[in-house]
Amino acid sequence: MRSTMNQPAPGQATASGWRPRRRTIYAIVGGAAAVSVVLIVVLAGILIPAATKSLLVHVSAVTLSFAPGDNPCFPTNYTNQTPVTVIAGGSEAITVPLSDQSNGGARDCTVESVSVLTPGFSLASANVPLHVGASGSSTLSILVNYPPSGYSGPLNLTASVTYVLPTITVTSLNFSWVPSSNPCGLDSPVAYYPHFVGFAGGDFNNTAGYASIFSTNSCTLIAVTTPTPGFAVISANVPDPIPQYNFGGVSFELQLPSTAYNGTLEIDLDLSF
């Protein structure tokens, strides 16, 4: 008969306490928990920066272009190369300094509207219409709403510009002494601006100089007028005494026609003697 004195009872550990099947189960469970912790840490390292990035808007540069691009008022586009990073869904205030660069070639330069060209961004407000006087300056203020999700790149805007070009072209000034036969001995006047351009409905200042070299009598310039339709003399520094053997001159202001004109301008200088 086989002895059973050294056999362990069912469920009873041996003297050494060895329970191989249960230890194997614990090892598997413990290893799975460790792997889960590692995966959570790795995923958190990937997802958290990605989520943070999706909440930021990075604008590398802001460019404002003018339309039409060949306008004489603000022909140079505005660009700000300073990068800006904000939370998605925020907004940014943009200021653009403006100055009339037409050098008299245009008037009533006005920024009529501002539009956002970059998708995802929108215009919140702008101080338009904004008029910039001749040779003057002003500041265009724009508030832009940022997209609700992440973005990285430039922000492009455009502004529409209106202006008035000169439509009055005087090719030459023709002066006439009135009466033409007089004892003053005056030569033909010479205008400071012998030809000029202007704006319909505007005004223009000019000066004419003359000499009384061959006079037999002293005269006085008493009036400056024009027979050219559409023009009028608003003011002139008369009366102007013209002594013998001397030089004189007269300044006058012209009212320009309200419609386009291209041609000569007749000026009458009325004398008294």
Residues 94 and 113 reside in one and the same domain: yes
Residues 148 and 202 reside in one and the same domain: no
- The tens digit of pLDDT for each residue in 141-184 reads 999 999 999 999 999 999 999 999 999 999 999 999 999 887 78
Residue 89 counted as domain residue: yes
Q: By residue range, what is the domain housing residue 108?
A: 56-164
201 closest CA partner among 163, 258, 262: 258
Residue 5 counted as domain residue: no
Whether 64 and 98 have beta carbons less than 8 Å apart is answered as no
Helices (H) and strands (E) in the chain, counts: 1, 18
Whether 267 and 221 have beta carbons less than 8 Å apart is answered as no
Number of folded domains that form the chain: 3
Residue 139 counted as domain residue: yes
The pTM (predicted TM-score) of the whole model is 0.67
Question: Which residues contact residue 132 at a Cβ distance below 8 angstroms, ignoring those fewer than 6 apart?
Answer: 73, 74, 98, 99, 100, 109, 110, 111, 138
- The tens digit of pLDDT for each residue in 215-270 reads 667 889 999 999 999 999 999 999 998 877 888 899 999 999 999 999 999 999 99
170 closest CA partner among 228, 130, 131, 223: 228
Tokens standing for residue 213: 């070299």
Q: Across the chain, which distance is largest between two alpha carbons, in Å?
A: 172
DSSP state of 214: S
Residue 14 counted as domain residue: no
- Range with the poorest average pLDDT among 36-45, 49-58, 210-219: 36-45
Residue 17 counted as domain residue: no
CATH number at residue 175: 2.60.40
Residues 236 and 182 reside in one and the same domain: yes
Residues 149 and 210 reside in one and the same domain: no
Residue 3 counted as domain residue: no
